[in-house]
Amino acid sequence: MRIALFGCGRIGRVHADAIASHPRAELAWVCDPMQDIARELAAQHATSATADTAAVLADPTIDAVVIASSTPTHVDLLARAVRSGKAVLCEKPIDLDIARVDACWAEIGAAEPLVMVGFNRRFDSSIREVRDRIRAGEIGRLEQLAITSRDPAPPPAEYIAKSGGLFRDMTIHDLDLARFMLGEVVEVQAMGANLVEDYVEKCGDIDTAVVIMRSAGGALCQIANSRHCAFGYDQRLEAFGSTGMLAVHNQLPTSVRYAGPGRTEAAGPYSGFFLERYGPTYRAELDHFITAVEKGGPLEPGFADGRAALVLANAADKSMRTGSAVPIAPAPPL
């Protein structure tokens, strides 16, 4: 499968590695308006660089595209790629504006396009193991789900300003994870706070949040977020069911433990940030994409999942602002 990559930034380079090392994929083009970084990445993988999006999409030998460019460019690239007959793996979020998301789908939906959204955590081996064991009935009916997600340190002010806010930028991963475990959500409540950095508040954003949700099946879900964490990247999940509990604990780079005066059983810091903790998910995600495209679909998580997570983020934001629970209407059929 010949794949073109749009976007050669940090996450683009991760996708380039995944494509280049996949046994059935070829990194055919890397495309970025900043030609320097495109050329550098192309050289690294012995492929071609360009800034010409149209030329890439017009190349009939390209089977699929990976969209890892900046968020505002996603819907346009996605729609054009679909019109060009390419399968698409698009980084999350589809867009920060639900209206633009829906307009995109209105344009492409009839074509029943092969579109996958990059919620990479669904491909983490620990998270997937928990879901598989839940589905196998190991903990009975899922009653409560608790997700803890804290970044090591807040991004700079300029990132915050364009991020769409904590719920759409950061919590969205946890909201997708909740849907991955629980299915559809019907009610959202949220509280936010500014405890970390003044510039976050100046940007009109929050840096700390808690969210509670009710699923269509009746289960209750909790999410805790912070833009900083003194002990590293805090990524945990607890699925409490009628007959047991499955938890994903934080992960350590080595299995070394220390005991000495004043402390025992002490481990080192948790695995760095998302590239360390979730690095292998990008390859697993790409493999799922390629395999599913080869079969003609379905792709999961798909466009509808990308939309649904944004709807929940918007609801959390609204609940925080109004102090009221926000009901979630059933999604329109996509």
Site for its own copies in 194-233 (CB under 8 A): 194-196, 208-214, 218-222, 224, 226, 228-232
Minimum distance from residue 3 beta carbon to its own copies (Å): 21
Q: Which is nearer to its own copies, 109 or 253 (CB)?
A: 253
Sole residue written with tokens 């209105």: 106
Residues in the chain: 334
The two structure tokens encoding residue 230: 């003194």
Per CB under 8 A, does 255 bind its own copies?
yes
DSSP at 71: G
Chain mean position to CA 136: 25
Write the CB contacts of 216 (distance below 8 Å, at least 6 apart in sequence). Answer: 183, 184, 185, 186
Nearer to its own copies, 76 or 184 (CB): 184
Q: Which of these segments, 32-40, 65-73, 165-173, 254-262, binds its own copies (CB under 8 A)?
A: 254-262
- Among residues 156, 192, 177, 197, the alpha carbon closest in space to that of 238 is found at 177
Q: Which of 254, 295, 329, 330 contacts its own copies by CB under 8 A?
A: 254
Report if residue 250 touches its own copies, rule: CB under 8 A.
Answer: yes
From the CB of residue 268, how many other CB atoms can be counted at a distance below 10 Å? 13
- Find the Cα–Cα–Cα–Cα dihedral 321, 322, 327, 333, rounded to 10°: -50
To its own copies, the closest distance from the beta carbon of 176 in angstroms equals 19
Cα separation of 257 and 263, whole Å? 11
Smallest separation, CB 102 to its own copies (Å): 26
**What minimum distance in Å lies between the beta carbon of 156 and its own copies?**
19
Q: 262 exposed, middle or buried (CB, 10 Å; 0-12, 13-18, 19+)?
A: exposed
Q: Which of residues 276-315 bind its own copies (CB under 8 A)?
A: none
Q: Which residues touch 158 (CB under 8 Å, ≥6 apart)?
A: none
Least Å distance, CB 193 to its own copies, is 5
Q: Which of residues 312-331 bind its own copies (CB under 8 A)?
A: 323-325
Distance CA(267)–CA(254), nearest Å, equals 9
The answer, yes or no, to whether the previous bond of 330 is cis (omega within 30 of 0) is no
Write out the binding residues for its own copies, residues 165-194 only, by CB under 8 A: 187, 189-191, 193-194
Q: Does 136 bind its own copies (CB under 8 A)?
A: no
CA–CA distance, 194 with 226 (Å, rounded to integer): 10
Question: Which of positions 5-44 make contact with its own copies (CB under 8 A)?
Answer: none
Nearest to 274 by CA among 169, 201, 200, 188: 169
Smallest separation, CB 67 to its own copies (Å): 28
258 binds its own copies (CB under 8 A): yes
State CA 203 to chain mean position distance. Answer: 23
CB 265, min distance to its own copies, A: 5
Among the listed ranges 98-106, 144-152, 175-183, 300-308, the one in contact with its own copies (CB under 8 A) is 144-152
Quick note: the x/- pattern for its own copies over 92-131, rule CB under 8 A, is ---------------------------------xx--xx-
Contacting range for its own copies; rule: CB under 8 A; set: 75-83, 140-148, 169-177, 287-295: 140-148
Q: Does 148 bind its own copies (CB under 8 A)?
A: yes
* Residue of 33, 109, 155, 253 that binds its own copies (CB under 8 A): 253
Using CB under 8 A as the binding rule, whether residue 61 contacts its own copies is answered as no
Does residue 153 belong to the site contacting its own copies (CB under 8 A)? Answer: no
Place of tokens 């604990």: 249
Q: How far is CA 31 from CA 11, 75, 328, in A?
A: 13, 16, 38
